[in-house]
Amino acid sequence: MARLSARDLTLQYEQRRVIEGLRTEIPEGKVTMIVGANGCGKSTLLRGLSRLLKPSGGAVTLDGKDIRSRPAKELARTLGLLPQHPVAPDGITVRDLVGRGRYPHQGFFRNWSHGDSSPHDLAVRHALEVTATTELAGRNVDELSGGQRQRVWIAMALAQETELLLLDEPTTYLDLAHQVEVLDLVTDLNRRRGTTVVIVLHDLNLAARYADHVIAMKDGAIVAEGSGSEVITEELVRTVFGLESRVVPDPVSGTPLVVPIGRHHYPHAHAAHDRAAQDRAAQDHAHAAQDHAAQTHAHAAHTAEPALEIAS
Amino acid sequence: MTASTTAASSVERELAAKALKTAPNGQQLPVRAEVRARKGKQPAWLLAVVVVLALACGASLAVGARAIPLDTVWDALLHFNPAEGNHAVVHARIPRTGLGLLAGGALGLAGAAMQGVARNPLADPGIMGVNAGAALAVVAGIYLFGITGLGGYIWFAFLGAAAAAAVVYLLASMGRDGATPVKLALAGAALSAGLYSLMNVVLVSSQDTLDRFRFWQVGGVAGRDWSVILPGLPFLVVGALIVLLSGRILNGLALGDDLARGLGQRVGLSRAIVALGVVLLCGSATALAGPIGFLGLVIPHAVRFFTGPDYRWILPFSLVLAPALLLAADVVGRVVLLPGEVPAGIMTAILGAPVFVWLVRRGKGVSL
C-alpha cells in the first residue's frame, strides 16, 4: 500500500535530464532508504518526491492525486521535508526554530503567540521532547554542536506533524555516534507514530540496518528495490558503485554488511589459511631482511634500493 | 526514549551547565536567561522606541537655526497665527518633520524586508537598483525634458526606481530556480553600475544639469512642502501595508528556499510580493527625499538587538526606529554648521555609523 508514488517521473535541471520515466511506490508506514553512487540521481528523486523540483514529465502522486495540484500549505501538513544543508537564521533560539515548523498549520492572522496549551505549543514541546532537545530550547542554534543541531532540525520537521517525512542525507557531517543517534530517532518516530519515512543515505551498512525498504539507483534509474537483504548484495555493489566487496551478515543486526575491497587489500578464501600464510610470509621477510642487512653492509656503495626495502 | 538518546540528553545537561558564559566584568550569565530576557520584552522595547521617535519629532519641530522658545513652539502648533514670524518658522518645520517620518519609516521597512528577501545582511534597498534607477531618471528628466523643481523630480524618480527594480527582478528570474538572492544581488549591482555610468556621462557633459541634480541627490527632507509630499503618500501606505504583513513570509524565506517550500510556502510568489512592497516604499521615499543610503542597511541590524531574528518584530521596530534616526540626524544637521545646514542624508551616516560600529562591537544579536 503506497500513498506516495512516482508515475513515469522525469526530472531535469535545465537541459540535463537526471531521471527519466521512473516509477516507484513508497510503502506506507515504512522506512525507505534511497542509496546509490554520487550523482546517480537519488537526491534529485527526493527533490522530485518532495515537490522541490517540478517534473518535466510524469507526476508524483499522493493518495492518487498529483502533488502539484494541491495547495502548498495543505500538502505541507501531510508531507514534510528536511533538505540536505538547512541554514538557521542567525541568533534564532531552538524553540523559535522548531516553532517555525508549525507554519503550514497557522492561518494568516493567528500568527502571534499562543497559550501554553494551544496545539501549536504542544506540538513544539512534544517535538523537543522526542528529540531530547527540551534542555536546549532557550539556546541559540549557532551555539550547538553538529549532532545537537541535526536533532533540532528533525524536531522542527516533527513539529510540522506530517504523516510522511523525507530527509536528504540527514547524517552528513555527523560522527558515527550521531549518525546512529539520528537514525535511531527517525526509527522511533516511524515505530511510534507510524510516520512514513524516506531517507537518502550514503552509508550502505546503516541503510541496510535501518531500512524496511531499500531503493538502489544508478544513472537516474532504479536498479533494485526491496528489503535490505534482498537488495544489498555483492553484485549490486559491483553494479552500482563499480566496487568489489564482500557482503557478510552484520554481527549486530544480521542485516547485510558491505566490506569493500580496494586495490590494496586482497581477500583470501579461508581466514585460518590466511593467518598461517601471513605468519610464514613474516618469517621469510625477517630472514630476508637479515640477509639484506648483511649484503648491504658489504656493498655500502650500492645500497639505496635494498636499504629502502628493509625500511619498508 | 532509547538508551542512546537518554544518554545524550544527560550529556546535554552537562553541556548546558558548562554553557554558563562569563561576562566581561567577570559576572556569570546563564545563556538561557540571556535569551529569555529578550523574549517577551519586545512590546516594552517597542514602546520605548516609540517614545524616542516622539522626542525626535518634538525636536524636529522645536529646534532649528532660529532659536524659538518651547512655549512659542507649543503655541504655534495649537494656536497658529500666520502674522507671527516664529509661528511661521515652526509651521514650515511641520512638512519637513512629516517627510522625515514617512521617508525614514519607508526606508527602514524596505531595508528590513530587503535583507529578508535577499537573505543577506548587506542588502539594502539600493541593491535592487532602486537608487540608481531613480537617480538616472531624475538626471534624464532635467537634461532631456528641462524639468525643474521637486514636484517634477519625484515622478521621474519613482518611475526610474520602479523600472530599475522590475528589470533587476526580470534578470534575476531568468534560468533555473527563479529570482534567488544571489542572482538578485548580482543583477542589482550590475544594473546599478551601468545606470550610474550613464548618469555620469550626462552629468559630466552638462554643468547645468549637475547643479540642479545635486540638490536632489544629496538626500534630505528640507524644502519639500505638502504639495510635493502628498502624491507619494498612497504608494508609501500600500507598500508599508504589504511589507508589514509579510513578517511570516520573511520568517519562512529566512530558512532557505527548500525548507520554506517544504513548509508550504510559495517562495517565488512570496518574494515577488515583498519585492513589490520594497519598490513602492523606497521608490517613493527616494523620489521624495533623494537617495538616503544608510538607514535601510543599518536600522534592521540595530533592531535585531531588541528583536532577535523574528521578522514579525523586526519590521515594526524598523518602521519606528528609522524615522527617529533620520529626524535626529536632520535636527543635528540644522544646527551643527550654522548658518548653513547639513542635509539629513549626509548627517544620517555621520551619526549612524559610530552607533552601528558600537552595536556590532557589542556583538549581541546584531550579526544578521
- What is the DSSP code (8-state) at residue B289? H
Query: B262, A76: Cβ pair inside 8 Å?
Result: yes
| pLDDT score of B42 | 78
Inspect the interface and report whether the beta carbons of B176 and A13 lie closer than 8 Å. yes
What pLDDT score was predicted for residue B11? 42
pLDDT in tens, A108-162: 655 444 555 677 788 888 888 888 888 888 888 888 888 888 889 989 998 888 9
- Among A197-201, B2-6, B184-188, B229-233, which range has the highest average pLDDT? A197-201
What is the edge-to-edge ordering of all strands in the sheet holding A221-226? Answer: A79-82, A164-168, A196-200, A31-36, A213-218, A221-226
Cα distance between residue B70 and residue B64, in whole Å:
12
Instruction: Report the gap between the CA of B120 and the closest CA in chain A (Å).
Output: 11
Residue A172 to residue B183: CA distance in whole angstroms: 28
State yes or no: pLDDT of A277 exceeds 80: no
Check: CB of residue B108 under 8 Å from CB of residue B300.
Answer: yes
The CB density around residue B257, as the number of other CB atoms within 10 Å, is 21
Q: pLDDT band for position A292 (50/70/90)?
A: low
The predicted pLDDT at position A216 comes to 93
What is the average pLDDT across B97-119?
88
List all residues of chain A from 34 to 53 with a beta carbon under 8 Å from chain B. Answer: 50-52
Residue B193 lies in a domain: no
Q: Using the predicted structure, report yes or no on whether residue B19 has a pLDDT greater than 50.
A: no
Q: What is the predicted pLDDT for the residue at B334? A: 83
Is the pLDDT confidence value at B1 over 80?
no
More confident residue, B172 or A49: A49
CB atoms within 10 A of CB A226: 12
> Helix B294-307 crosses helix B344-362 at what angle (to 10 degrees)?
30
Is pLDDT above 80 for A250? Answer: yes
Q: Averaging pLDDT over each range in A33-47, A279-293, B35-49, B347-361, which range is the top one?
A: A33-47
User: What is the CATH number for B342?
Assistant: 1.10.3470.10
In a domain, B257, yes or no: yes
What's the predicted TM-score (pTM) here? 0.77
Task: Flag the least confident range among B93-102, B136-145, B336-345.
Answer: B336-345
Chain B residues with beta carbon closer than 8 angstroms to that of A133: 12
B20-77 confidence digits (pLDDT tens)? 333 333 333 344 444 444 556 778 888 888 998 888 888 888 787 777 777 877 877 7
Q: What is the pLDDT of residue A123?
A: 85
B300, part of any domain: yes
Q: Residue A166 pLDDT > 90, yes or no?
A: yes
B 299-358 residues inside an 8 A Cβ radius of A: 304, 308-310, 312
* Rounded distance between C-alpha atoms, residue A162 and residue A159, angstroms: 8
Across the interface, whether the CB atoms of A96 and B309 are under 8 A apart is answered yes
B256: left (phi over 0), alpha (psi -120 to 50) or beta: left
Share of chain A above pLDDT 70, in %: 81
Q: Band of the pLDDT at B359, cuts 50, 70, 90? A: low
Q: Cβ contacts (< 8 Å) between B175 and chain A: which residues?
A: 14
pLDDT at A73: 86
Single-letter amino acid, residue A262: G
Query: Which residue range(s) make up the domain with B326?
Result: 49-124+220-362
In this prediction, residues A4-12 reach a mean pLDDT of 88
Q: What are phi and psi of A161, to 5 degrees?
A: 50, 60
Average pLDDT of the segment spanning B287-312 = 83
Please give the pLDDT value at position A299.
Answer: 47
> Span A247-265, mean pLDDT?
88
Q: Is residue B338's pLDDT more than 80?
A: no
Per-residue cell: B334 = 540644522
What is the least distance, in Å, from the CA of A296 to any CA of chain B?
A: 58
How close, in Å, is residue A181 to chain B by CA atoms? 7
Q: Which residues of A touch B1 (CB under 8 A)?
A: 132
| Contact between chains at A72 and B266 (C-beta distance less than 8 A) | yes
Report helix angle A146-159 to A119-130, nearest 10.
Answer: 150
Cis peptide before B82 (omega within 30 of 0): no
How far, in Å, CA of A44 to CA of B262, rounded? 15
Residue B117 predicted with pLDDT over 70: yes
- Which 94-133 residues of chain A touch chain B by CB within 8 A? 96, 100-101, 103-104, 106, 108, 111-112, 131-133
Count interface pairs A-B at CB distance under 8 A: 123
- Give the closest residue to B287 by CA, choosing from B155, B96, B118: B155
Residue A50 to chain B, least CA–CA distance (Å): 7
If you ran DSSP here, which 8-state letter would residue A68 be given?
G
Best CA proximity match to B149, nearest among B232, B223, B226: B223
Q: Which of these, A82, A102, A105, lies nearest to A198 by C-alpha position?
A: A82
Is the CB of residue B95 less than 8 Å from the CB of residue B229?
yes
B204-223 pLDDT, tens digit per residue, is: 887 777 777 777 676 667 77
Q: No. of H helices and E strands in chain B?
A: 17, 2
In a domain, B69, yes or no: yes
How many CA atoms within 13 Å lie on the side-chain side of A187?
18
Q: What pLDDT digit, counting tens, does each position of B156-203 carry?
A: 888 888 888 888 888 887 776 666 777 888 888 899 899 989 888 888
Q: Is B57 a member of any domain?
A: yes
Chain segment B241-274, per-residue pLDDT in tens: 999 999 888 988 888 888 999 888 888 888 889 8
Nearest to A148 among B12, B254, B309 (CB): B12
Max mean pLDDT among A170-184, A261-275, B66-80, B141-155 falls in A170-184
Shortest distance between the Cα of B316 and any Cα of chain A, in A, equals 14
Cβ contact, residue pair B256, A83, below 8 Å: yes
Neighbour-count burial for B86-110, b at 16+ CB within 10 Å, e otherwise: bbebbeebbbbbbbbbbbbbbbbbb
B335 falls within a domain? yes
Q: How far is B294 from chain A (nearest CA, A)?
A: 22
Helix (H) and strand (E) counts in chain A: 11, 12
Packing angle between helix A119-130 and helix A176-193, nearest 10 degrees?
130
B19 in contact with A, Cβ within 8 Å: yes
Interface test with B, best of A56, A67, A75, A100 (most B CBs within 10 A): A100
Residue for grid cell 555609523? B353
Q: Does B261 touch chain A (CB under 8 A)?
A: yes
Q: Per-residue b/e over A267-296, b at no fewer than 16 CB within 10 Å? A: eeeeeeeeeeeeeeeeeeeeeeeeebeeeb
What would the grid cell of residue A214 be? 531499500
Winning range, highest mean pLDDT, from A209-223, B203-217, B342-356: A209-223
Residues of A in contact with B244 (CB under 8 A): none
Task: Inform me whether the C-beta atom of residue B10 falls under 8 Å from chain A C-beta atoms.
Answer: no
Q: What is the mean pLDDT of chain A?
A: 82
Q: Is position B305 within any domain? A: yes
Using CB atoms, pick whichever of A76, A91, A108 lies closest to residue B304: A91
CA dist A66 and A62 (Å) reads 6
Report the candidate in A154, A86, A94 with the shortest Cα–Cα distance to residue B35: A94
- Predicted confidence at residue B229, as pLDDT, reads 79
ipTM confidence? 0.76
Please report whether residue B340 resides in a domain.
yes
CB < 8 Å to B248, chain A = 103, 106, 108, 111
Residues 6+ apart with CB under 8 A from A237: A204, A243, A244, A245, A247, A258, A260
Spell out where chain A has E strands.
Answer: 2-13, 16-27, 31-36, 57-62, 65-66, 79-82, 164-168, 196-200, 213-218, 221-226, 245-249, 256-260
Q: A168 pLDDT band (50/70/90 cuts)?
A: very high
CB contact under 8 A, A76 and B259: no
What's the domain count of chain B?
1
SS3 breakdown of chain A: % helix, strand, coil, rounded to 5?
A: 45, 25, 30
Q: Closest Cα to residue A148, out of A189, A185, A120, A122?
A: A185
The one-character DSSP state at A93 is B
Q: What is the mean pLDDT of residues B121-127?
A: 70
